[in-house]
Amino acid sequence: MIAALEALGYRLWWHASPLYRSENFRGNAENVFDYVMSMSMVGVHRDVEFAVDGLPPVSGPEDWGYDRFGISESKTLVAVPPRA
């Protein structure tokens, strides 16, 4: 997907959001999610003037963002498709 989006002229950045936040609404101190994050990409077409601050750029098709967010490639990652 990264190669296809780049070929269409998109600049890409990683966005990672941990599933646990210590300051959560319920005040639950137990992090049952460990290292699990929701990984997304932000894409902006190169013809659009748009600044993206605070997100690391996707460096190419082989960049899966592991090292940027402290994820070991040896850990099992599960991709869950969106509901139809």
User: Does 32 fall in a domain?
Assistant: yes
Q: How confident is the model at residue 35 (pLDDT cuts 50, 70, 90)?
A: confident
Q: How many helices (H) and strands (E) does the chain have?
A: 1, 2
**Residue 16, pLDDT score:** 84
The pLDDT of residue 46 is above 70: yes
**Residue 71, pLDDT score:** 62
**Number of independent structural domains in the chain:** 1
Measuring CA to CA, how many Å separate 50 from each of 45, 53, 72?
A: 9, 10, 31
The pLDDT of residue 83 is above 80: no
- Owning domain of residue 43: 2-69
Average pLDDT estimate for 30-55: 89
User: Does 28 fall in a domain?
Assistant: yes
User: Does 10 fall in a domain?
Assistant: yes
Cα R_g (the chain), whole angstroms: 15
Distance of CA 7 to the CA centre of its chain: 20
Q: At 5, is the secondary structure helix, strand, or coil?
A: helix
